[in-house]
Amino acid sequence: MTRLLPLALFAVACGGPLETVPFEAPAAAQVDLDDPGPVVHEAVISATWSVPLKGLVDLDDAKAAELENGDHPIVLPVHVLTHPTAGAFIIDTGVPANESPAEGLAASFIGDIEPVEPLGDILARQEAPLAGVLLTHNHMDHVLGLVDVPEGVPIHAGLGEERPANANGRLMFPTFRRAMNGRPLTVWDFDADGIDLEGTRAIDILGDGSLWALDAKGHTPGSTAYLARTVDGPVLFTGDCSHTRWGWDHGVTPGTYTADHEDNAESLAQLIALAEAHPGMRVEVGHEAHP
Ligand SMILES: [Zn+2]
């Protein structure tokens, strides 16, 4: 007990990990991913930004020899997925209409993000009630809009996202904590609940095969990609497993923003294999609008 006390005090001083609740995964449906599903997808650009290319793409990869570091324009997308009976889900949260949860150094780091449509405005024009937030991971540029998410709406992320992964993550984590405002994180546990979906560990979120969480660890330990069977066919949302279309097309992982390059490379290869097996699959990368 006495030996645990200093550790407990340390956890309190640093805030410790966020409270988590397990996601109760339903039994997975058997589906053909190429069959059109019931989900309607709207891709929204919530903000634009510019960051160094070396963060977005591993410039040490031999395939990236043609690329040069420099400021690279990106977008902060919010993907709205409307299910006919379950309601609307959003993948990541863009920028908020309410006051930003970022403070201090973190706030100055993101000070030049240009809002296009804050999450509050995106949610206000939805007809279906918001049924859940599907976070790809806990980095600041994905969680700012959480302050616009109404109380009681479940906020999901992969197990591991309740704490920062590394020094970079620790810089951003207080912003996530403020944006969560005491709400628990409902976590996907791919070890416990994941089934094999064509080589990728997956959780069937609604149990009807229309909306899937996919294990995409590497960028952060709990990084999650999503797959929706929409009325127009399957759509894969890579999150920051691949920030850019170039990285996706060339199989090159993100650069300095990624915590574990080996895991990221494995996850990226799995997602690419999944997409190649379904040529009709639309692919939305983490930080660029679909062409
Ligand atoms: Zn990001």
pLDDT per residue, tens digit, the chain (291 aa), is 445 545 444 444 457 999 999 999 999 999 999 999 999 999 999 999 999 999 999 999 999 999 999 999 999 999 999 999 999 999 999 999 999 999 999 999 999 999 999 999 999 999 999 999 999 999 999 999 999 999 999 999 999 999 999 998 999 999 999 999 999 999 999 999 999 999 999 999 999 999 999 999 999 999 999 999 999 999 999 999 999 999 999 999 999 999 999 999 999 999 999 999 999 999 999 999 987
- In the reported structure, the alpha carbon of residue 134 is separated from the centroid of ligand 1 by a whole-number distance in angstroms of 14
Give the pair of three-digit tokens for residue 157: 């992320």
- In the reported structure, the alpha carbon of residue 239 is separated from the centroid of ligand 1 by a whole-number distance in angstroms of 7
Ion ligand 1 neighbours (CB, 5 A) are: 141, 240
- In the reported structure, the alpha carbon of residue 230 is separated from the centroid of ligand 1 by a whole-number distance in angstroms of 24
- In the reported structure, the alpha carbon of residue 65 is separated from the centroid of ligand 1 by a whole-number distance in angstroms of 23
pLDDT at residue 1, rounded to an integer:
43
Q: Report H helices in 99-185.
A: 104-109, 119-124, 140-143, 167-180
- In the reported structure, the alpha carbon of residue 85 is separated from the centroid of ligand 1 by a whole-number distance in angstroms of 30
Q: Estimate to the nearest angstrom the gap between the alpha carbon of 117 and the chain centroid.
A: 18
Using CA atoms, how far apart are residues 16 and 142, in angstroms rounded to an integer?
Answer: 20
- In the reported structure, the alpha carbon of residue 160 is separated from the centroid of ligand 1 by a whole-number distance in angstroms of 17
- Beta-carbon contacts of 101 under 8 Å, excluding residues fewer than 6 positions away, are 143, 144, 146, 147, 175, 176, 178, 179
Rg, the chain, Cα only = 18
Q: What domains appear along the chain, each with residue ranges and CATH number?
A: 30-284 (3.60.15.10)
Using CA atoms, how far apart are residues 27 and 260, in angstroms rounded to an integer?
Answer: 31
pLDDT at residue 14, rounded to an integer:
53
- In the reported structure, the alpha carbon of residue 81 is separated from the centroid of ligand 1 by a whole-number distance in angstroms of 19
- In the reported structure, the alpha carbon of residue 75 is separated from the centroid of ligand 1 by a whole-number distance in angstroms of 9
- In the reported structure, the alpha carbon of residue 286 is separated from the centroid of ligand 1 by a whole-number distance in angstroms of 6
Report the predicted TM-score, pTM, of the whole model to 2 decimal places: 0.94
- In the reported structure, the alpha carbon of residue 243 is separated from the centroid of ligand 1 by a whole-number distance in angstroms of 7
- In the reported structure, the alpha carbon of residue 32 is separated from the centroid of ligand 1 by a whole-number distance in angstroms of 30
pLDDT at residue 13, rounded to an integer:
43
Using CA atoms, how far apart are residues 89 and 96, in angstroms rounded to an integer?
Answer: 17
